[in-house]
């Protein structure tokens, strides 16, 4: 059974009456299907206009659930989104960026999802719609573990909402993989830095992926950076203790020790890149 509704209400209705797996860009859906047939109902949300596009609203930026990586790359967004755009440009290859959605990336909840660190650094929230109406969850309460989200039965993601509080902050994303293109991250880091007029750090947000079950922010580091004069660079301030929330594992891609060390290196570089690079080249 395959449903292709054109409105959110129809989709919620179908989920309530039939249930079924949601299909958006299909890049995770089909990639994990292997040669098994798709059994059970499928709800294709790709024809729902209300889920499309990226809109700048008064106090938030709304990324529709069907917005693709390519749309993020092409959108005119403030500098705080540079990290997200850089992440988008590093996802798979062009073909994947044209199909895959940011919302799908979050719903798929892979520890290596490249969309998560930049959105964590942006304090993004998720708008969910379900039989009981809509609700909003901060991103760190939406992704609960590997392949586990807070989506309740019958619910779907409608949009990703990013507050406009710190949109002028500089941001940067760094991905480390075993090759160029089409690669699952060994470590990835999103950093965002706002400076005051004296060149001191007025706000810093750092998130790291592939080093814990769910990508996470590093609050101790963010606090340590506050008020620091950025002139001499920030990389030297990153201490091993700041990485305490990370719990990397050994796998075929790298050892845990390597991941920690690389994370520390990349955090430093991402922070400094926020200082040195013009927001828009």
**Are 125 and 94 spatial neighbours (Cβ–Cβ below 8 Å)?**
no
CB of 166 to another protein, least distance (A): 29
Q: Does 233 bind another protein (CB under 8 A)?
A: no
CB of 27 to another protein, least distance (A): 5
Q: Does 60 bind ligand FAD (CB under 6 A)?
A: no
Q: Find the binding residues for another protein in span 26-55 (CB under 8 A).
A: 26-27, 29-31, 33-38, 42, 44, 46-47
**Are 114 and 105 spatial neighbours (Cβ–Cβ below 8 Å)?**
yes
105 binds, among another protein, ligand FAD, none (CB under 5 to 8 A by kind): ligand FAD
CB of 61 to another protein, least distance (A): 24
Site string for another protein, 154-193 (x = CB under 8 A): ----------------------x-xxxxxxx-x-------
Please write down the HEC assignment for all residues of 225-271.
HCCCEHHHCCHHHCCHHHHCCCCCCCCCCCCHHHHHHHHHHHHHHHH
Per rule CB under 6 A, count of chain residues that contact ligand FAD: 30
Whole-Å CA distances, 145 to 6, 110, 111, 254: 31, 8, 8, 21
65 binds, among ligand FAD, another protein, none (CB under 5 to 8 A by kind): ligand FAD
Q: Does 5 bind another protein (CB under 8 A)?
A: yes
Structure tokens, 120: 């964590």
The residue (of 40 and 57) whose beta carbon lies closer to another protein is 40
Please, which residues have CB within 8 angstroms of residue 257's CB and are 6 or more apart in sequence? none
Which of 14, 15, 27, 170 touches ligand FAD (CB under 6 A)?
27
The residue (of 72 and 254) whose beta carbon lies closer to another protein is 254
Site string for ligand FAD, 194-233 (x = CB under 6 A): ----------------------------------------
Please, which residues have CB within 8 angstroms of residue 160's CB and are 6 or more apart in sequence? 62, 63, 65, 102, 103, 106, 119, 124, 125, 126, 127, 139
Q: Where are the alpha helices (DSSP H) in the chain?
A: 8-18, 69-74, 82-90, 94-99, 102-108, 116-121, 139-142, 219-225, 256-276
**Are 229 and 250 spatial neighbours (Cβ–Cβ below 8 Å)?**
no
- Of 95, 94, 248, 267, the closest CA to residue 186 belongs to 248
CB of 11 to ligand FAD, least distance (A): 9
The residue (of 104 and 248) whose beta carbon lies closer to ligand FAD is 104
What is the C-alpha separation between 206 and 222, in angstroms, rounded?
7
Q: Dihedral sign for Cα 44, 65, 186, 141, please.
A: negative
Q: Does 92 bind another protein (CB under 8 A)?
A: yes
Binding region for another protein (CB under 8 A): 1-6, 10, 14, 23, 25-27, 29-31, 33-38, 42, 44, 46-47, 70, 89, 92-96, 98-99, 176, 178-184, 186, 252-255, 257-258, 261-262, 265-266
């Amino acid at each position: 059974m395959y449903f292709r509704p054109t409105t959110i209400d129809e989709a919620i209705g179908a989920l309530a009456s039939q249930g079924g797996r949601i299909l958006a860009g299909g890049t995770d859906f089909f990639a994990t299907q292997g040669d098994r047939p798709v059994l059970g109902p499928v709800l294709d949300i790709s024809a729902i206009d209300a889920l499309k596009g990226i809109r700048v609203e008064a106090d938030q930026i709304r990324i529709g659930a069907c917005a693709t990586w390519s749309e993020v790359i092409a959108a005119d967004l403030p500098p705080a989104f540079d990290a997200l755009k850089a992440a988008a440009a590093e996802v798979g290859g062009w073909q994947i960026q044209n199909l895959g959605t940011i919302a799908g990336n979050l719903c798929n909840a892979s520890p290596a999802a490249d969309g998560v660190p930049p959105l964590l650094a942006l304090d993004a929230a998720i708008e969910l719609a379900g039989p009981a109406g809509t609700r909003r969850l901060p991103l760190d309460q939406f992704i609960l573990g590997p392949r586990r989200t807070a989506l309740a039965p019958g619910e779907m993601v409608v949009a990703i909402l990013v507050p406009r509080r710190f949109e002028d902050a500089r941001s940067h994303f760094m991905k480390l993989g075993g090759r160029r293109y089409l690669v699952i991250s060994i470590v990835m880091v999103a950093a965002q830095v706002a400076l005051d007029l004296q060149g001191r750090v007025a706000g810093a947000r750092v998130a790291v992926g592939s080093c814990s079950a769910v990508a996470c922010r590093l609050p101790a580091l963010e606090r340590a950076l506050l008020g620091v004069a950025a002139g001499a660079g920030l990389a030297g301030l990153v201490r091993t203790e700041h990485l305490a929330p990370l719990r990397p594992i050994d796998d075929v891609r790298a050892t845990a020790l390597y991941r920690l060390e690389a994370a520390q290196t990349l955090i430093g570089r991402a922070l400094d890149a926020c200082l040195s690079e013009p927001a828009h080249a």
